[in-house]
A and B are shown apart, each in its own frame.
Chain A
Amino acid sequence: MSSLVSALINAPPIIDRCIAGDEAAWRELHRAYYPQVGRFLRRLGVPPAETDDLCQDVFAQVVRYLPRFEGRADFRTWLFKLCISQVNRRRRFRWPALLRLSRAPHDRDRGLFAINGRLEALAGPALPEFSQVEMARRAQLALQHMKPAHRAVLVLFELEGLSGEEIARVVGSPVATVWRRLSYARREFEQWINEGPFHPPTGERP
């Protein structure tokens, strides 16, 4: 028993083993964090068809940069930081021949969604009659419409359950900025949920 305890205490952490080139440790790390990375990417609005590719990009970055991870922050927050960075890079897919409002699939959805929303509105109070799928879609549209910085903070706080300090480390901003972005993001989110896409949450109003 004592030898087992001793072995556990003296066993190098998985990250150290990964850095040392232990392939079994890499496999273990991948298995442990792959679901979290995939879920976080989906929460950030990455379409399901692209999640696998982006996951792979994130883990390729992990392999490259793990030796530089100094352990001063939680590994998960470091991983989230990489995810956000990769999502931002991924946003290049329709440049330059694009007019997003007209071409992006979610905007097409917005059009349909607008009509569905109006149909629901004609039938009575909209929200209670929405199915789970429809509500999830509505949330996804609201998140897609947000600024990336606001969306990241909202997802990290509301869905990933990180504290303000942890989010500040992930996004590289002061805690006060995190709360301010969260405040804006919540306002935008609730506005989308309550008013629908006929009334955009920000920008000019007629």
Chain B
Amino acid sequence: MSEQRSTDEGRDQPARLLDTAGPSARVLAAFDAQTELPEGDQRSNEDRAWRRLRQQLRAEQAPAARRGSGRRWLAGAGAMIALIAAVALTAGQNRRLAQPRPPVVARQSARANPIPLDSSPRAPATAPAIAPATAPAIAATAAPLPPLVLTSEPRPLPAEPVRLDERIAVIAAAGTRAAAWIDRAGQQHVDLASGVVELIVSGGAHPVLLVHAGDYRFRDRGTVFEVGRTGPAVWLHVKSGAVGVSKAGRPLAVIRANHRWSIGVADAASDTPGRPNPSHARGPATAKAKATTTTTTTTTTTTSSPLAALDVPAPPDLSPPGPAPAVAVPAAPAPAPTTPTVRRRSLPDCRALERQARDDEAQTCLRALAEGNDLSAETALYELARVQQESLGDTAAALVTLKQQRRRFPGGALRDEAELTTIELLPNVGQYRSALDLSEAFLARHPRHERAAELHLLRANILREVFADHAAAVREYQEIDAGAGGIADDAAFFLAVSLESDGRAQEAADAYRRYLKRGTAAHAAVARARLAALAR
């Protein structure tokens, strides 16, 4: 019914409520009038706000000079990190210059499969690296990078790392031939002719970047990834986030963090050049590639159906014994000496991203941390729920995350906190009954919990306001000790209200009187009015 109405409304713009004469229009008009400030107030407020804004912007430009010692310490730490990153960057470049890329030699496989870098059963210990990660680690982005201003004309990527904009850093390995450009819609592109590029994309809405390597397209989803190309051989290594792979506009796969994808790279470095093509025996091939490496050249045929690159664990190799199939999979991470390690982010890193309003990245960061089984994983899940609720206003997602936390860590250190937060959020999505049930179970387990009074007040408010069960509300309010503070004040007042609503006038009058004797009676005026009404 509502869907039908909304469809109808989609054709014609509905009339505005303010143009009608109903009670809603009057209420809305009253609210609208209240939101308008007098012109004089507006001018003075604006003037003051402008001065404050200028001060803030100046303070941001000169942070260390105006802030406290803690912030100066943080600034110092940031500078130190930048220095370390710069050293890492330089070291990475030196390594690249000093060590020529090893020849591409890879294990042969029937299909292109993304392989998890960790604990892959298909990764023999002796498998050589297909994708020598020649680009420096992500930490290198902490160093200021020169910008490369893009136009619609492709501009060659320089040998040193550059920034395409505030969110995209590109690091090309030595000898890489690649160009970057921007289209009319603002989409940025990197055309990779040969070599290896590492791309670090952060912040904002995605995708912001497309990498073209031959027939293949790699679309970022907020991530750090490398793309390599040697002739028709193309490989992808996703270090964080996710990357969509497509060919001729047809999506092939989504490759997630710590997975690789490749196609056409096997025989480029095979030690059996010119061997028969196994694809011919299996059926028609869909793509034919001539893979070339720095050392050997051979011809082979690859299968490149969409299934060939799905981001799922690889099935057992059912191909008959014989010559190796065409498509190779990088089955193991690059050897330690040549692979720069991507620093695993910590909880403070994720919080820093959140403070910088980089919510997508903060979520990705927290999700990555939450993959473990330790306290930091549990904390990351709780933090993820907090980000979803506070920064994104997505209560439903926060509840799902909290539920996941309670399921994964049933005896966790934050279990009670997760449960309390769930109870608190449930009324926001209208699940009052669930909030009552969960809080009842919690109070049964922890009758003397430090927040038991808050829980009783929450339950009482729900019972009174939502279910109009005043007798039950009275019982809940009576559970709260008559001490000082806002909770006790509310409880004492609404106890009287509930008694009155339950038809217990004499008890209500007594309760109002007791309430008025409190030192801090926030609802005193209403209580006196009700007491007078009851006396009549």
Chain B residues within an 8 Å CB radius of A76: none
Q: Smallest CB-CB separation from A60: which chain B residue? A: B56
Q: Check A60–B526 contact: CB distance below 8 A.
A: no
Q: Check B42–A102 contact: CB distance below 8 A.
A: no
Q: Which of B26, B34, B458 contacts A99 (CB 8 A)?
A: B458
Q: Which of B170-224 contact A (CB under 8 A)?
A: 186
Q: Does B283 contact A (CB under 8 A)?
A: no
Q: How far is the CB of A185 from chain B (nearest CB, A)?
A: 10
Q: How far is the CA of A140 from the CA of B28 in the complex (A)?
A: 9
Q: Check A179–B49 contact: CB distance below 8 A.
A: no
Q: How far is the CB of A174 from chain B (nearest CB, A)?
A: 9
Grouping DSSP codes into helix (H, G, I), strand (E, B) and loop, the A interface class, with mixed when no group exceeds half, is helix
Q: Does A80 contact B (CB under 8 A)?
A: no
Would you list 13 pairs from A and B whose C-beta atoms are within 8 A, ordered by A residue? A34-B49, A35-B42, A38-B37, A38-B45, A56-B52, A59-B49, A60-B57, A63-B53, A99-B424, A103-B486, A115-B526, A180-B9, A189-B28
Q: Check B462–A91 contact: CB distance below 8 A.
A: no
Q: Does A183 contact B (CB under 8 A)?
A: yes
Q: Check A30–B24 contact: CB distance below 8 A.
A: no
Q: Check B28–A197 contact: CB distance below 8 A.
A: no
Q: Check B37–A111 contact: CB distance below 8 A.
A: no
Q: Check B466–A158 contact: CB distance below 8 A.
A: no
- A189 touching B391 in the complex, CB below 8 Å, given contacts A30-B50, A39-B35, A99-B424: no
Q: Smallest CB-CB separation from B9: which chain A residue? A: A179
Q: Smallest CB-CB separation from A23: which chain B residue? A: B54
Q: Does A12 contact B (CB under 8 A)?
A: no
Chain B residues within an 8 Å CB radius of A114: 465
Q: Residues of A within 8 Å of B, CB-based: how many?
A: 77
Q: Does B14 contact A (CB under 8 A)?
A: yes
Q: Which of A55, A119, A132, A139 has the most CB of B within 10 A?
A: A139
Q: Does B7 contact A (CB under 8 A)?
A: yes
Q: Check A204–B430 contact: CB distance below 8 A.
A: yes
Q: Check A27–B50 contact: CB distance below 8 A.
A: yes
Chain B residues within an 8 Å CB radius of A103: 454, 486
Chain A residues within an 8 Å CB radius of B158: none
State which of B15-23, B136-144, B146-154, B274-282 sits at the interface with chain A: B15-23
Q: Does A159 contact B (CB under 8 A)?
A: yes
B positions within 8 Å CB-CB of A: 2-3, 5-7, 9-10, 13-14, 16-18, 23-24, 26-28, 30-37, 42, 45-46, 48-50, 52-53, 56-57, 186, 357, 382, 386, 389-393, 417, 420-421, 423-424, 427-433, 451, 454-455, 457-458, 461-462, 465-469, 486-487, 490, 493-494, 497, 522-523, 526, 529-530, 533
Q: How far is the CA of A112 from the CA of B464 in the complex (A)?
A: 13
Q: Check A136–B34 contact: CB distance below 8 A.
A: yes
- A179 touching B14 in the complex, CB below 8 Å, given contacts A31-B46, A34-B46: yes
Q: How far is the CA of A97 from the CA of B17 in the complex (A)?
A: 39
Q: Check B23–A193 contact: CB distance below 8 A.
A: yes
Q: How far is the CB of B416 from chain A (nearest CB, A)?
A: 11
Q: Check A182–B14 contact: CB distance below 8 A.
A: yes
Q: Smallest CB-CB separation from A149: which chain B residue? A: B393
Q: How far is the CA of A102 from the CA of B458 in the complex (A)?
A: 5
Q: Check B7–A110 contact: CB distance below 8 A.
A: no
Q: How far is the CA of A159 from the CA of B5 in the complex (A)?
A: 22
Q: Check A180–B2 contact: CB distance below 8 A.
A: yes
Chain B residues within an 8 Å CB radius of A52: 45, 48-49, 52
Q: Does A14 contact B (CB under 8 A)?
A: no
Q: Check B30–A136 contact: CB distance below 8 A.
A: yes
